Amino acid sequence: MSDPCLAESIETTEIDYMELDRIIEEDFNNDKENLIMMLQEIQRRYNHLPTPALAYLSTSIGVPLSQIYGVATFYSTFSLEPRGRNIVSICLGTACHVRGGERIREKLEESLNIEDGETTEDQRFTLESVRCIGCCSLGPVVKINEDTHGRIAYTEVDKILEKYE
Amino acid sequence: MMKIESAKDLEVISEDYSKKLYYPEAVKVNVGIASCGIAAGAQASLETAAKEFPGNNGVSINQTGCIGFCELEPLVEIFEKGKPRLLYKNITEDKILDMIQDYRESNFNKKWILGQMQDPRSFLEDDIQNPMAGVTPLEEIPILEDVSFFDKQVKIALRNCGYIDPDSIEEYIARRGYQAFIRALKDMEPKEIIQAVKDSGLRGRGGGGFPTGIKWETCAKHNGERYIICNADEGDPGAYMDRSILEGDPHSVLEGLLIAARAIGSSQGFFYVRNEYPLAVKRLVTAVKSAKRYGLLGENIAGSDFSFDVKISTGAGAFVCGESTALMASLEGKVGRPRAKYIHTVEKGFRENPSNLNNVETYANVPAILLKGADNYAKMGTTHSKGTKVFSLVGKVKNTGLVEVPMGISLKEIVFDIGGGIPKKKKFKAVQTGGPSGGCIPEQFLGLGVDFDELIKVGSMMGSGGMIVMDQDTCMVDVARYFVDFLKEESCGQCNPCREGITAMLDILTDICKGNGKEGDIELLEELGMMIQKFSLCGLGTSAPNPVLTTILYFRDEYDAHIKDKKCPSGVCKPLFHYEIDDEACNGCTLCAKRCPEEAITGEKKKPHHLDLEKCIKCGICYDACKFDAILIQ
């Protein structure tokens, strides 16, 4: 989310406007109160929030693009930049923290050769730290896409990453 | 599909399904499928069993919610009519078929079994016959209710979690579900409902501890279209009871909302659920659909003039949205920034209308209060904190899990009796309650009876019920830095004291952890803390300094060690310690050398090893691996 000037950011994603319409109108009734959930659906579809989709959304529901940008940058789950094929979420909740979550993050950063919030060059992984996914009894926890891996040891990190193409 | 119109209709369903719940003809297998169970492999166990026993050929495979003893997940319960009800532990997919065989052949392998349940009835069912009456208990298998993890627990909010299939409204009804609502609808005036909730002494379980009945009463007094909101944006790291309740018993929360709606006079409700909890959302969606099918949601519920519908919204990862005004802004599709509460949300909240917001656990308690009586509920707990509270007992404790205990129980009982104490014979240091708004409570207060007011007296707070146990290896300065770092990220940024104050605190704490601490830093942190507490706009800011102030109050020696001696006694802050091998304690087992990722440890078998400090990255693997305490923190 580094580029504050949406209009100028380079956007290559192909947008399916028919589908966008379906999301806006059928799933969420064209109701601006559903903005956050619309954005979530768009992100689910495109893996990030493509600028043209946001511009289209803005005219469809009558919310200024600036306001949509405000929402998209306020909430931590949204990304304006393309993310990797696999989202690696390292839990840094308190329970994971006291059980060595920080060390697992360092190991992930080292193995993937990226920092928290970045995407690998081959677009294979994006590393994100999250604050508590509620699996505190299994800390430290790493979630990759929809799979939760509990009680992770430093030495297991590489083996787990290998499973994701 | 039958529409429910009366308590009698509920009885019909209840009779049918309680047979299935308590006296199954086929062997009934209940796999605990909540997020934590799934992470431990429960989904794979369930699928393996379901594949082996498709249809109903003597064994039925079912899902249930979180059984609570998360440390031993996947947990699987198994029983059939006339035989003991057993809870098996650590049943991964490779074990589940053997486990079912073990039960069917009555071998009852002690090593696999956590215990046998003596009484599966819920808090609401003490007037029915115990289904286990007449079943002879097994010798040599512990009684589950006597296992130290369970024996002090009283399950009200968690009354159905781990007992029923969360996707089955019928099973919920079989355990007296929706009877409280039908009673509230047909036999009680809204004022009577509010009075009952007031008499029960129920206080908000989300953290604030505001009396629920008074909140309802005030909201009902204000005119306009009133809204009922459920705060399921459980943001406190280390707390997951709301997730477990929604995943394990969503109808109990929905019924609580319905009762609140009837009492306050509302026709529209909202669930605001954390985006990080997809399973909770899924179970809630199923619950809402089935309630609609039975006519318990929608127009003219149960043939009355009362109509109520709910909408499920998800958050998008903002801690501050747990604050009521921010949550309501977020529900409106806006940026979740709190506002000053000179006008309360019960008067002007969501869409500028009177809005009643309670937390998941609060709502889950309401049906139990109406059905068992306010007096009955108020009997439990302390003078000003009634009933029970669910805690997530996590961190450096043997038995991690969700526990529901009467208010007033001591910290010591929770951590040492229920939690089993600290693993690896390490020493207890502190317990952190209240999430980032709470504080760290040291050993001297272990005898403290846990309730809303007592926790505040020692500088912490109840919060939503996270209880993170810390041992000798936890650095309290690092913990303070951790929370302040969390809050800096999560501050919405609109008020100065919070935005700038927290950032300034973080800078100081980071310096201290790096070994750049200076004389006067502690005093500066205290001064900043006072300022942030006094002048911040919302609860996030006013409580933000708590973790710093309590650690300074109780663990000042650790701050001094960091600042003056440039040492981190717990071995967490990397620039301030190094590892050393104790030649006398090291017996040359080679484990540390094998595990070291940097090959920094060398030595011959059965001879003391040597650690090369140049190569050491202080990852701590050797420290954790050594069984002889030969790795020292210096």
Q: Which of B401, B470, B486 is nearest residue A137 as measured by Cβ atoms?
A: B401
Q: How far is CA B532 from CA A48, B131, B299, B318, B505, in A?
A: 36, 56, 48, 20, 10
Helix, strand or coil, per DSSP, at residue B36: helix
Do A46 and A68 fall into the same domain?
A: yes
Do A137 and A157 fall into the same domain?
A: yes
Residue A20 lies in a domain: yes
Residue A123 lies in a domain: yes
- Would the pLDDT of A1 be above 60? no
Residue A28 lies in a domain: yes
- Would the pLDDT of B547 be above 70? yes
Give the whole-angstrom CA distance, residue B613 versus residue B623. 14
Do A100 and A67 fall into the same domain?
A: no
Task: Give me the CATH number covering residue A113.
Answer: 3.40.30.10
Residue A8: the pLDDT is: 45
Chosen from B276, B320, B392 to mutate, greatest number of chain A CBs within 10 A? B276
Residue A79 lies in a domain: no
Say which residues have a Cβ less than 8 Å from residue B534's Cβ, sequence separation at least 6: B497, B542
| DSSP one-letter code for B300 | S
Instruction: Convert the pLDDT of each residue in A74-87 to its tens digit.
Output: 999 999 999 999 99
- Would the pLDDT of A13 be above 90? no
User: Cβ–Cβ of B468/A141 closer than 8 Å?
Assistant: no
User: Cβ–Cβ of B240/A75 closer than 8 Å?
Assistant: no
Average pLDDT over residues B350-372: 97
String of b and e for B560-574 (b: at least 16 CB within 10 Å)?
ebbbeebbbbbbbbb
Average pLDDT over residues B130-135: 93
Do A147 and A110 fall into the same domain?
A: yes
Do A61 and A90 fall into the same domain?
A: no
- Would the pLDDT of B1 be above 80? no
Provide, as residue numbers in chain B, all residues whose Cβ is less than 8 Å from the Cβ of A34.
313, 333
Assess contact for B386 and B198: CB atoms under 8 A: no
Residue A80 lies in a domain: no
Helix axis angle for B556-563 and B521-535, nearest 10°, is 130
User: Cβ–Cβ of B336/A74 closer than 8 Å?
Assistant: yes
Do A16 and A65 fall into the same domain?
A: yes
Instruction: Convert the pLDDT of each residue in A15-68 to its tens digit.
Output: 899 999 999 999 999 999 999 999 999 999 999 999 999 999 999 999 999 999
Average pLDDT, whole number, for chain B?
A: 94
Provide, as residue numbers in chain B, all residues whose Cβ is less than 8 Å from the Cβ of A93.
237-238
User: Cβ–Cβ of A132/B237 closer than 8 Å?
Assistant: yes
Q: Which of A52, A74, A96 is the last residue of a domain?
A: A74
Assess contact for A68 and A35: CB atoms under 8 A: yes
Give the whole-angstrom CA distance, residue B456 versus residue B358. 21
Do A121 and A158 fall into the same domain?
A: yes
Q: Name the band, by pLDDT with cuts 50, 70 and 90, for residue A153.
A: confident
Put simply, whether B570 touches A (Cβ < 8 Å) is: no
User: Cβ–Cβ of B394/A77 closer than 8 Å?
Assistant: no
Do A135 and A69 fall into the same domain?
A: no
Do A113 and A157 fall into the same domain?
A: yes
Paired tokens of B317 = 């990862």
**What's the pTM value of the predicted model, to 2 decimals?**
0.94
Instruction: Convert the pLDDT of each residue in B503-537 to its tens digit.
Output: 999 999 999 999 999 999 999 999 999 999 999 99
Q: Which of A37, A67, A99 is nearest residue B395 as measured by Cβ atoms?
A: A99
Smallest CA–CA distance, residue B523 to chain A, in Å, is: 26
Instruction: Convert the pLDDT of each residue in B203-261 to its tens digit.
Output: 999 888 999 999 999 999 999 999 999 999 998 888 999 999 999 999 999 999 999 99
Strand partners, B440: B432
Residue B306: the pLDDT is: 97
Chosen from A49, A94, A108 to mutate, greatest number of chain B CBs within 10 A? A94
Residue A10: the pLDDT is: 53
- Would the pLDDT of A5 be above 50? no
Give the whole-angstrom CA distance, residue A111 versus residue A91. 17
Q: B236 to chain A: nearest residue by CA?
A: A132
Residue B235: the pLDDT is: 85
Provide, as residue numbers in chain A, all residues whose Cβ is less than 8 Å from the Cβ of B490.
131
Interface list for B 156-195 with A (CB within 8 A): none
Q: How many CB atoms lie within 10 A of CB B614?
A: 7
Q: How far is CA B415 from CA A48, B142, B151, B313, B450, in A?
A: 43, 21, 14, 36, 12
Do A126 and A152 fall into the same domain?
A: yes
Interface list for B 615-634 with A (CB within 8 A): 619-621
Q: A140 to chain B: nearest residue by CA?
A: B395
Place of tokens 């019920």: B465
User: Cβ–Cβ of A134/B240 closer than 8 Å?
Assistant: yes
| DSSP one-letter code for B385 | S
Residue A2: the pLDDT is: 44
Q: Which of A74, A105, A124 is the last residue of a domain?
A: A74
What are chain B's domains? Answer: 19-145 (3.40.30.10), 178-376 (3.40.50.11540), 388-471 (3.10.20.600), 476-563 (1.20.1440.230), 578-633 (3.30.70.20)
Q: Which of A37, A100, A141 is nearest residue B313 as measured by Cβ atoms?
A: A37
Smallest CA–CA distance, residue A144 to chain B, in Å, is: 11
Put simply, whether A98 touches B (Cβ < 8 Å) is: yes
Give the whole-angstrom CA distance, residue B303 versus residue A150. 48
Give the whole-angstrom CA distance, residue B197 versus residue B60. 40
Do A123 and A56 fall into the same domain?
A: no
Smallest CA–CA distance, residue B244 to chain A, in Å, is: 9
Residue A62 lies in a domain: yes
By DSSP bridging, strand B401-406 and strand B309-314 are unpaired
Instruction: Convert the pLDDT of each residue in B419-433 to its tens digit.
Output: 999 998 999 999 999
> Which residues form the domain of A39?
6-74
Instruction: Report which residue type is found at B420.
Output: G
Residue A81 lies in a domain: no
Residue A67: the pLDDT is: 96
Paired tokens of B363 = 């709502």
Q: Which of A54, A74, A94 is the last residue of a domain?
A: A74
Q: Is B299 left (phi over 0), alpha (psi -120 to 50) or beta?
A: beta
Residue A1 lies in a domain: no
Paired tokens of B91 = 């049943």
Residue A11: the pLDDT is: 58
Q: How many CB atoms lie within 10 A of CB B52?
A: 13
The Cα diameter of chain B in Å comes to 83
Q: How many domains does chain A have?
A: 2
Average pLDDT over residues B464-493: 94
Q: What is the DSSP string of chain A?
A: -----GGGS---PPP-HHHHHIIIIIITTT-GGGHHHHHHHHHHHHSS--HHHHHHHHHHHT--HHHHHHHHHHSTT--SS---SEEEEEE-SHHHHHTTHHHHHHHHHHHHT--TT-B-TTSSEEEEEES--S-GGG-S-EEETTEEE-S--GGGHHHHHHT--
Instruction: Convert the pLDDT of each residue in B384-404 to its tens digit.
Output: 999 999 999 999 999 999 999
| DSSP one-letter code for B421 | -
Instruction: Name the nearest CA neighbour of A76 among B533, B233, B285, B408.
Output: B233
**What ranges make up the beta strands (E) of B18-175?**
27-32, 59-64, 76-79, 85-88, 113-117
Place of tokens 């990220």: B489
Place of tokens 């300034």: B504
Out of A4-18, A39-53, B53-67, B140-154, which region has the weakest mean confidence (pLDDT)? A4-18
Instruction: Name the nearest CA neighbour of B279 among B16, B43, B116, B88.
Output: B43
Give the whole-angstrom CA distance, residue B392 versus residue B467. 6
Residue B87: the pLDDT is: 96
- Counted residue by residue, chain A has a size of 165
In chain B, what percentage of residues exceed pLDDT 90? 88
Instruction: Convert the pLDDT of each residue in B193-203 to its tens digit.
Output: 999 999 999 99
In chain B, what percentage of residues exceed pLDDT 70? 100
Do A113 and A156 fall into the same domain?
A: yes
Put simply, whether A70 touches B (Cβ < 8 Å) is: yes
